[in-house]
């Protein structure tokens, strides 16, 4: 059975000092009362805060994720960060293709695919984000958008590697807006994603892949989202910056698992 994974995407918040404090609070609580039912937690701070968070979560079972990488091992790529640098500071995961990167940095499905392959080659678990805009939803093309993003991001990835991938369905209209998808809306798209995965890689692999929901997940709506059979945890933005709220979301996942 696939696990639940709750990941905090800190975006461009938390310098090393404040990140260490937040991670220590979360890790302290999870050391005191480890997650039940196989729920996994991942923290994804900005690059510069990764080492401080790595120290703070030692021995807590929490995974460490970056928010991006450049798909080359090394070279003349001023300002970029490669996958080996991420594993060197303790990363286990990396968020790829977040809608903010697609929107503000023009990331294409092809580029995200190159990043995913590079991450896998370095033993990182990519958290690949997909999701439609409000305009796309209202014009009825959500499924075709998801289809294109998913096929594009996963091109050429072997069945074995597919098992290392985590998908995050993040409808853009729900990110940072306080307007979350209803549990039914989330479940509907998650089923579409899983059906497509089954078509591409077979039912067994499709059944094992974690599909997170992201977009205004809070302590008070997490339980109903996680209760959906195909919602396997969440990618949390704003609510991951407050230890008590993030921990409540983790506990909600434990209750659903
Ligand atoms: P919010 O939880 O702040 O809506 O952000 C979601 C998100 O983008 C996580 O990657």
Q: What proportions of the chain, in percent to the nearest 5, are helix, strand and coil? A: 50, 15, 35
175 CA: nearest ligand 1 atom: 4
> How high is the pLDDT of residue 178?
87
Ligand 1 pocket check for 119: Cβ under 6 Å: no
- Over residues 49-77, the mean pLDDT reads 98
Q: What is the mean pLDDT of residues 171-176?
A: 95
Name the residue of 94, 217, 222, 240 to mutate for ligand 1: max ligand atoms within 8 A of Cβ. 217
Ligand 1 atom with minimal separation from the 129 CA = 10
Q: How far is the CA of 37 from the centre of ligand 1 (A)?
A: 24
Concatenating the DSSP letter of every residue in 54-119 gives HHHTTTTT-EEEES---SSSSSS-TT---HHHHHHTT--EEEES-HHHHHHS---HHHHHHHHHHH
Is the C-beta atom of 9 inside 6 A of ligand 1? yes
Has residue 234 got a pLDDT over 90? Answer: yes
59 pLDDT higher than 90:
yes
pLDDT tens string 115-142: 999 999 999 999 999 999 999 999 999 9
Tell me the pLDDT band of 1, cut-offs 50, 70 and 90.
Answer: confident
What integer is the mean pLDDT of 155-176?
A: 96
Does residue 81 register a pLDDT over 90? yes
**Do 46 and 10 meet the contact criterion of CB atoms below 8 Å apart?**
yes
* Mutation probe of ligand 1 site: the residue of 218, 238, 240 with most atoms within 8 A of C-beta: 238
Q: Is 175 in the pocket of ligand 1 (CB under 6 A)?
A: yes
Separation of CA 5 and ligand 1 centre (Å): 15
- Higher pLDDT pick, 1 / 56: 56
Q: Is the pLDDT of residue 257 over 90?
A: no
Rounded alpha-carbon distances, angstroms, from residue 182 to 166, 179, 206, 215, 227: 21, 9, 23, 11, 12
pTM metric for this prediction: 0.98
Per-residue pLDDT at 131: 98
Residue 25's SS3 state is helix
Question: Quick one: average pLDDT of 98-106?
Answer: 98
CATH number assigned to the domain with residue range 5-256, chosen from the 4 options 3.20.20.70, 3.40.50.720, 1.50.10.20, 3.40.50.2300: 3.20.20.70
Domain ranges of the chain: 5-256
What integer pLDDT is reported at residue 232 of this predicted model? 98
């Amino acid at each position: 059975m696939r696990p639940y994974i709750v990941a905090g995407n800190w975006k461009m918040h938390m310098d090393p000092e404040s990140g260490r404090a937040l991670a220590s609070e979360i890790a302290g609580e999870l050391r005191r009362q480890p997650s039940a039912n196989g729920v996994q937690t991942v923290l994804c701070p900005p690059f510069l805060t990764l080492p401080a968070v790595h120290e703070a979560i030692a021995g807590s079972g929490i995974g460490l994720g970056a928010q991006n990488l450049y798909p080359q091992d090394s070279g003349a790529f001023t300002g970029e960060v490669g996958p080996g640098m991420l594993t060197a500071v303790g990363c286990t995961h990396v968020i790829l293709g977040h809608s903010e990167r697609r929107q503000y940095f023009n990331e294409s499905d092809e580029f995200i695919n190159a990043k995913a392959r590079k991450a896998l080659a370095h033993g990182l678990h990519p958290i690949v984000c997909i999701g439609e805009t409000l305009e796309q939803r209202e014009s009825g093309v959500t499924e075709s958008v998801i289809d294109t993003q998913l096929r594009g991001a996963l091109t050429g990835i072997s069945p074995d590697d597919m098992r290392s991938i985590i998908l995050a369905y993040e409808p853009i209209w729900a990110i940072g807006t306080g307007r979350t998808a209803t549990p039914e809306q989330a479940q509907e798209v998650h089923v579409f994603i899983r059906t497509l995965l089954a078509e591409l890689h077979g039912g067994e692999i499709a059944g094992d892949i974690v599909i997170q929901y992201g977009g205004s997940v809070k302590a008070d709506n997490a339980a109903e989202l996680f209760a959906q059979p195909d919602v396997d945890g969440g990618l949390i933005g704003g609510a991951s910056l407050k230890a008590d709220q993030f921990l409540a979301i983790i506990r909600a996942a434990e209750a659903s698992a």
